[in-house]
Amino acid sequence: GAGVSQSPSNKVTEKGKDVELRCDPISGHTALYWYRQSLGQGLEFLIYFQGNSAPDKSGLPSDRFSAERTGGSVSTLTIQRTQQEDSAVYLCASSLQGSGGTQYFGPGTRLLVL
């Protein structure tokens, strides 16, 4: 069956530009998570969606970061005025419900800010 998909797979942008990263979760999964992984580092939580609501945005590093989810499905993570320190792999995961169940990860978007 189809897993979590993300696009683009790679993104190179110039400092100061805005970028949008997309996540398509597994069909029927109500919970969706965004994580960030810097080179050689662990996974850093950014934001969690249950349906279209985001009850926890505590991991977003600054107000340049925002995310939305529509129709209880696709989610978009937007980074405005990108900085070099935003360079990382952005991973999306979904789970059937948000109660500690298995999270299935997408392949990630590798963002490089020049």
Partner 1 sequence: QQPVQSPQAVILREGEDAVINCSSSKALYSVHWYRQKHGEAPIFLMILLKGGEQKGHDKISASFNEKKQQSSLYLTASQLSYSGTYFCGTPETGGTSYGKLTFGQGTILTVHP
Site residues for partner 1 per CB under 8 A: 4, 31, 33, 41-43, 45, 48, 50, 55-56, 91, 95, 98-108
Beta carbon of residue 98, minimum distance to partner 1 (angstroms, whole number): 4
Cβ contacts of residue 21 below 8 Å, gap of 6+? Answer: 6, 7, 8, 11, 76, 77, 78, 79, 90, 109, 111
Beta carbon of residue 75, minimum distance to partner 1 (angstroms, whole number): 15
Instruction: Indicate left, alpha or beta for 51 from its phi (over 0: left) and psi (-120 to 50: alpha).
Output: left
8 Å CB contact between 98 and 48:
yes
8 Å CB contact between 50 and 33:
no
Beta carbon of residue 46, minimum distance to partner 1 (angstroms, whole number): 10
Q: Which is nearer to partner 1, 80 or 87 (CB)?
A: 87
Q: Which is nearer to partner 1, 30 or 80 (CB)?
A: 30
Compute CA 27 distance to the chain's CA centroid, rounded to the nearest angstrom: 17
Q: Which is nearer to partner 1, 43 or 74 (CB)?
A: 43
Beta carbon of residue 24, minimum distance to partner 1 (angstroms, whole number): 13
